[in-house]
Amino acid sequence: MMAAMAVAGTFAFAAQAQTNPAPSPEKMALARQLVEATGGAKQVDAVLRSLFQSMGSTLGANLPPEQRRLQTVIFQKLQARMSAIVPKMLDATVEVYADNLSDKELHDYVAWMQSDSGRSVIAKMPQIMSASFKTMMPMITEMTEGIKKDVIDEACAEAKCTPHDREVLIEAMNKSMPKRPS
């Protein structure tokens, strides 16, 4: 969840940054050094693994027993596709850093990431993200339970849904949003 939000935020910032003049090659190199100092592709892969583990436990709890055998295959395919876009995600992150941080901020951030504390935080980040996912899922589930009806009502009022449209939306929303454990 957090990884997804981070990725979405990165691309949103990248789109906004495209209106600014292109950063110098030196600044891009500094930004790339920062991304590498944060663990680069290895860190993204570790965060994605944590995300998939969290999603896997949620999916497993919601799949009927006869379909649980598909869970591993689904996540292998999903992880392979996500891993294939990691280089693009990292390039977008480099651009975001270069567009939004000054040379001094980039230098200082790289220095901190290469310090003992910075390396320690990087090493702990997959566990932190996993614990964050587990902590946030009940909150997200609680929040989504409370807003499903309101969101469907508002969307149907705006789009003038038929009763069938409403049923389809409710079913799709129930399938796609986290559910409270039974």
pLDDT band at 178 (very low <50, low <70, confident <90, very high): low
pLDDT tens string 97-121: 999 999 999 999 999 999 999 999 9
What confidence tens digit (pLDDT) does each residue in 48-59 have?
Answer: 777 777 676 666
The number of C-alpha atoms within 13 Å of 47 and in the hemisphere containing its C-beta is: 21
pLDDT category, 17, cuts 50, 70, 90? very low
Task: Give the tokens for residue 89.
Answer: 């995600």
82 CB neighbour count, 10 Å cutoff: 18
Whole-number pLDDT of residue 120: 94
Extents of the domains making up the chain = 2-137
Assign 94 to helix, strand or coil. Answer: helix
Q: Where are the alpha helices (DSSP H) in the chain?
A: 2-17, 25-37, 40-62, 69-84, 86-100, 103-113, 116-159, 163-176
Q: Whole-model pTM above 0.75?
A: no
